Amino acid sequence: MPSVKWALEAFVQRLAALSPLSREDISVLLSLPGEAVRLRGNVDIEMPGQGFDHACLVTSGLVARFAQLSDGRRQYTALHIPGDMADIHRVATPLAGSTLQTLATATIVRVPAKNLKRAASNSATITQAFWAYSAVDAAVLSQWAVNLGRRDAKARMAHFLCEMGVCSEHSGDGDRHEFLLEASQGQIGDALGLTAVHVNRTLKVLRESNVVAIDGRIIRIQDWPLLSAIGDFDPRYLQMDPRAVEAA
């Protein structure tokens, strides 16, 4: 049961894994203020066009970053798990118009942007860590673009499930072979650029070939090697997987 304190610690640990931080940096980051908020599913957290006052630290649940077309359809550009600071990039460019939405019930911590700015201004190593964090985020996004542009529905789904598996394992609850994915099929469609109906059919194919089993929103991956082959999945880009880091 991730607490607010846990989420902040996880975030700082991730930063430290990407870029060296001094003991003082870490204590500055751990004492960042923030207001915890609990939200139900399918709620928009930030409105586009508004000023950027607060960054969003995910504490429990799942939060999607998305962009919207003028007709209202959405495309998720990232999914954030507990321990992620979903929109820290806006500290660097407040104009960037990304917006956030909860998938299921989630609790988030609203961290004032000016405190993040100040922390970055006062420590070059913190700025570098934020930059590295944003850069990994962008690397994940570029894999997402490949998924959308060049893979068919089955491969897209397989790649997505592998990514979610590795992330869940890293976030501490569940391992990659069995984890909770708190998203409806329509929301999965917004991640994969598919309709809800086709998400359903695609999952059915994977289920019937005994690659994955689905019980409610629990995903059990029965044949990881096959699934990652179908999705052409290489976990290195996540910079999260201990097994992959070893290999490098």
Partner DNA sequence: CGGAGTATTGAGGCGCTTCAAAGGCGGTGG
Partner DNA sequence: CCACCGCCTTTGAAGCGCCTCAATACTCCG
Is residue 68 within 8 Å of 100, Cβ to Cβ? no
Residue 184 lies near DNA (rule: CB under 7 A): yes
- Kindly provide the residue ranges of all beta strands, DSSP E only, lying in the chain, ordered along the sequence: 35-39, 54-60, 63-68, 74-80, 99-102, 106-112, 178-180, 212-215, 218-221
Q: By CB under 8 A, what part of segment 185-224 binds a copy of itself?
A: 192-193
Among 16, 18, 39, 180, binds a copy of itself (CB under 8 A): 18
Instruction: Please tell me the distance from the alpha carbon of residue 116 to that of residue 229, in angstroms, as a whole number.
Output: 40
Question: What mask of x and - would describe binding to a copy of itself in positions 118 to 147, judged by CB under 8 A?
Answer: --xx-xx--xx-xxx-xxxxxx-xxxxxx-
Rg, C-alpha atoms of the chain: 18
Report d(CA 111, CA 122) in Å as an integer: 17
20 CB contacts (<8 Å, ≥6 apart)? 125
198 touches DNA (CB under 7 A): yes
Verify binding: residue 200, DNA, rule CB under 7 A: yes
Part of the chain binding a copy of itself (CB under 8 A), chosen from 33-41, 92-100, 178-186, 197-205: 92-100
Task: Write out the binding residues for a copy of itself, residues 23-62 only, by CB under 8 A.
Answer: none
The binding site for a copy of itself (CB under 8 A) comprises: 18-19, 65, 67, 69-70, 73-75, 77, 89-90, 92-93, 95-98, 120-121, 123-124, 127-128, 130-132, 134-139, 141-146, 148-151, 192-193, 232, 236-237, 239, 248
